[in-house]
Amino acid sequence: MINGNLEFTKADFMQFRDLEISLEWHIIQLQELKENYKMRKVDDGIMNIAYMQENVYECNKASLEENISNLTMKLFVIRRTITMCKECVEEKIYLAVSMAVIEGMPYRAISKKIKYSTPQVSRYISQFFTNLECHKAFIKAKEEAVYKLCSAMKKETNETQSERHET
For 86-123, the pLDDT digits (tens) are 999 999 999 999 999 999 999 999 999 999 999 999 99
Number of domain units in the chain: 1
The verdict on residue 68 lying in a domain is: yes
The verdict on residue 81 lying in a domain is: yes
**pTM of this structure:** 0.76
By residue count, the chain amounts to 167
User: What does the pLDDT look like over 38-95, one tens digit per residue?
Assistant: 555 455 555 555 666 677 788 888 899 999 999 999 999 999 999 999 999 999 999 9
Which residue segment(s) compose the domain that 78 sits in? 10-40+48-88+131-166
Q: What is the DSSP string of the chain?
A: -BTTB--SSHHHHTTHHHHHHHHHHHHHHHHHHHHH-------TT---HHHHHHHHHHHHHHHHHHHHHHHHHHHHHHHHHHHHTTTTS-HHHHHHHIIIIIS---HHHHHHHHTS-HHHHHHHHHHHHH-HHHHHHHHHHHHHHHHHHHHHHHHHHHHHHHHHHH-
The verdict on residue 80 lying in a domain is: yes
167 compared with 25, residue with greater pLDDT: 25
The verdict on residue 153 lying in a domain is: yes
The verdict on residue 117 lying in a domain is: no
The verdict on residue 156 lying in a domain is: yes
